[in-house]
Amino acid sequence: MNNLYESQKLGLWYMSAALVLFGAQILFGLLIAYQYLNPDFLFGIFNFNIGRILHINAMVVWLLMGFIGAVYWFLPVETGRETVGIKLGKLAFFILLAALTVVILVYIFVQTGAGNKISLWFINEGREYIEAPRWADIGIVIVVLVFLYNVFATVFASKKITGIMGVLMIDLVALAGLYLAGMFYTVNISLDQYFWWWVIHLWVEATWEVLIGCIMALALMYVLKTPRKIVEGWLYLEVFLVFGTGILGLGHHYFWIGTPEYWLGIGGFFSALEPIPLVAMIIHAVYDAGVQRLKTVNKPALFWILAQAFGNFIGAGVWGFMQTLPQINLYSHGTQLAASHGHLAFFGAYVTTNIAVAYIMVHKIRGGEVKLMDSKLWKYAYVLMIISIIGMAGSMMVAGFAQTEIERAVGGSTWQAYINAHLHPWMVEPMYWRFGFGFLMLIGYILLIVDLLTIGKKEEKTAVEEVAHA
Amino acid sequence: MNFNWLEIIVFAIFLSIVVSAIFVRGKSWLEPNFWKRTALITSIIMVAVLLVLTVDTLSKISMGTDRIPDATVINKKISYVYSDEKHRFVPKIEGQEKFFGKIWSKNEAEELLNIGKMTIQSRACMDCHTLLGNGAYYAPDLTKAWLDPKWNLLIKNMVNAKTKEEAIVKWLMNTDKYPTFTRRMPNMHLSEKEAKAVVAYLKWMSAIDTNGFPDNFLSSQK
């Protein structure tokens, strides 16, 4: 641990906290998946909506914390110096942890409040993905501002702005600024959802994609020793394609919320192009890995990077495209098909990124970057988690197609049509498969954590012993 | 302003290509700088187009426009019909209709919707239901819930109410006692005021022009 910058230690803390929250996400996911099978389970005590808030908020927070950890990790490597304001950064980390604890405890024990502003400020804002009460929103903004300051101050202090850092800085400003778009109350639900999507879509399908583009560029340079000129060239191309298609691709969320009809055409067109940057990312990763003939010092990281390239394309690209044109979305909107896409995309694009970075961190703290890092266990975790996510997304896809047909296209979307669809075996059975694959994911997660805690330890010991003998 | 989607797309792409071409002239497409400039210019143009469209959209989705009715629509009779002209379903608003036995003034109606919206948020309705199709998938979509035939066909008798709005209030305040399927709705402990406000919100929401979503509503009940 002594060979680490303080910034890298902070990065490690962020990643550790993130991985704990990942476990919480899986557990709450399992709970609500079980409520689909047995709706009386914890009925009236811990209702589905509370479990779901915890499931999706844990996801948003742990992914973001992982990204912040990754940036703190690579920042000194990229700038060649310690992060400016590292003490402030550490303080912000503990404030974030304390705030998260309070928010989670309130979600679990208070759950909901009366229909007034006090509830929205202190209990639960009730807007999917950004349910955090307003006081926590403000706290999140402060923590992110500290992070932004640290990145900017460190880069400026190093007196050189690499291409990757340039892209990262612009992207982080956009990412932080967009969060503000979700921090207001309005009685008008169309206006509410219009800006709500600025946070959700422009994060997940634009600024997050570019952020992981930067993290992946740094990771590839580390894992495969890909030359900077190549990764930066690809990064610019990816930014061009992600922002070029993703910003107006936002339109696919404006089909049915009361917004004008031109969004049908704009959203359909640009979101149909959204898979293109993801194809570019695959070519990039496969090309680099091929050039190096898969030779690397960090096998698990490399394989998670490859999983990221394919997962992002299939989960976000193909699964998204499948339902993005308004002609099909009119029927598939708000069905299990969206859940299928969500699971595959978030895992494929973002979970894989964070796991790859976690392995890069572990590599360095277990005795440096020269020795090959490999184990048997990571392969089991890798295969198990990928099978689980495909199984879950596949189950929800079958259920989603059935729901699209039975409830929406044939039944006309009424209450009874919803019930009919949910009692049909095509929807009932996949919910069991989904739970089963969810359980498998939990096992995969446990193996992953065990591996992260143990991989490379033996070699580290041997190295220490060698030194002692010498 | 009246935009046509194709014009906007062609404009955004054309402008990106032309401006990028000016700034990268003389550079090889294999140089990172070529893509750096293209990325920056395209991003700026797309953000600019989004901002212009946002200004236009906001003017069309404020309350009291053709697409989003104002709060007093709760005093009107609302239905959802197929429009031959638009080739999709549209809300039809016509004739007065008492709501909880009275006609609400604009201020009263706005206050009611405000409480309804805060209640819907504070109870995290969106983490089981979908509103305008967005939310969770554990419970039915509420976009046109006010128009759902089940209130008159089943719930009214079930809770012993005279009007639809009264039936919804009674049902909402005792959801755990009136299951309609294996999955019950938990009791969200709404006060009567909150329950009335939620009903008003559902009625107002059903009058929003959602470009035809959901399609073919009611087809199975015809």
For all residues of chain A together, what is the average pLDDT? Answer: 94
At B219 the pLDDT is 58
User: Who's near A443: CB < 8 A, 6+ residues apart?
Assistant: A384
- b/e burial code for range B95-129 (CB count within 10 A of at least 16 → b): eeeebeeeebeeeebebbbbbbbbbbbbbbbbbbb
Taking the CA of residue A439 and the nearest CA in chain B, the distance in Å comes to 20
d(CA A237, CA A242): 9
Percentage of residues in chain B having pLDDT higher than 70: 98
Please tell me the total number of residues recorded for chain A in this structure. Answer: 470
d(CA A174, CA B206): 35
**Residue entry with tokens 């634009």:** A206
* Banded pLDDT at A263 (limits 50, 70, 90): very high
At A237 the pLDDT is 94
pLDDT in tens, A391-450: 999 999 999 999 999 999 999 999 999 999 999 999 999 999 999 999 999 999 999 999
At A464 the pLDDT is 55
The range of the structural domain enclosing residue A21 comes to 1-160
Taking only Cα atoms into account, the Rg of chain A, rounded to an integer number of angstroms, comes to: 22
A92 within domain boundaries: yes
Tell me which residue of B24, B212, B197 sits closest to B111, measured CA to CA.
Answer: B197
pLDDT in tens, A210-260: 999 999 999 999 999 889 998 999 999 999 999 999 999 999 999 999 999
Taking the CA of residue A267 and the nearest CA in chain B, the distance in Å comes to 9
Count the neighbouring beta carbons within 10 Å of the beta carbon of residue A327.
Answer: 8
Contact A112 B205 (CB under 8 A): no
B211: nearest CA partner in chain A:
A256
In the stretch 61-100 of chain B, residues with CB closer than 8 A to chain A read 61-63, 67-68
Scanning A312-455, the segments in alpha helix (DSSP H) are 319-321, 326-332, 336-345, 352-365, 377-403, 415-423, 425-454
Contact A112 B209 (CB under 8 A): no
Scanning B25-67, the segments in alpha helix (DSSP H) are 32-60
Query: Is this prediction's ipTM beyond 0.90?
Result: yes
Contact A265 B5 (CB under 8 A): yes
Instruction: Identify whether B214 is preceded by a cis peptide bond (ω within 30 of 0).
Output: yes
User: Who's near B220: CB < 8 A, 6+ residues apart?
Assistant: A410, A411, A412, A414, A416, A417, A420
Taking the CA of residue B160 and the nearest CA in chain A, the distance in Å comes to 20
d(CA A130, CA B124): 11
Tell me which residue of A233, A235, A265, A236 sits closest to A248, measured CA to CA.
Answer: A265
For all residues of chain B together, what is the average pLDDT? Answer: 94
A119: nearest CA partner in chain B:
B122
Interface test with A, best of B61, B106, B146, B215 (most A CBs within 10 A): B61
Taking the CA of residue B96 and the nearest CA in chain A, the distance in Å comes to 22
Q: Is the pLDDT of residue B1 over 70?
A: no
pLDDT in tens, A60-92: 999 999 999 999 999 999 999 999 999 999 999
A30 within domain boundaries: yes
pLDDT in tens, B34-79: 999 999 999 999 999 999 999 999 999 999 999 999 999 999 999 9
Contact B126 A126 (CB under 8 A): yes
**Residue entry with tokens 């909150």:** B194
Structure tokens at A279: 């194809």
Which residue among B39, B115, B144 places its CB closest to the CB of A240? B39
Strand partners, B80: B91
Q: Is the pLDDT of residue B220 over 70?
A: no
pLDDT in tens, A173-223: 999 999 999 999 999 999 999 999 999 999 988 999 999 999 999 999 999
d(CA A177, CA B197): 34
pLDDT in tens, B126-159: 999 999 999 999 999 999 999 999 999 999 999 9
Tell me which residue of A417, A66, A370 sits closest to A222, measured CA to CA.
Answer: A370
A156 touches chain B (CB under 8 A): no
Count the neighbouring beta carbons within 10 Å of the beta carbon of residue A458.
Answer: 11
A450 within domain boundaries: no
A138 within domain boundaries: yes
Question: What average pLDDT score do residues B81-109 get?
Answer: 96
d(CA A461, CA A66): 28
At B222 the pLDDT is 43
At A174 the pLDDT is 95
A427 within domain boundaries: no
* Banded pLDDT at B2 (limits 50, 70, 90): confident
pTM as predicted: 0.95
Contact B3 A262 (CB under 8 A): yes
**Residue entry with tokens 């194809």:** A279
Q: Tell me how many domains chain A contains.
A: 1
A247 within domain boundaries: no
A4 within domain boundaries: yes
Q: Is the pLDDT of residue A309 over 70?
A: yes
Percentage of residues in chain A having pLDDT higher than 70: 96
A120 within domain boundaries: yes
Q: Are A116 and A126 in contact, with CB atoms under 8 Å apart?
A: no
Q: Is the pLDDT of residue A468 over 60?
A: no
Which residue among B56, B138, B205 places its CB closest to the CB of A189? B205
In the stretch 242-261 of chain A, residues with CB closer than 8 A to chain B read 243-244, 247-248, 250, 253-261
At A400 the pLDDT is 97
What is the DSSP code string of B88-152? EEEEEEEEE--BTTBPPPHHHHHHHHHHHHHHHHHTTGGGTSEETTEE-SSS-B-TTGGG-THII
d(CA A240, CA B41): 9
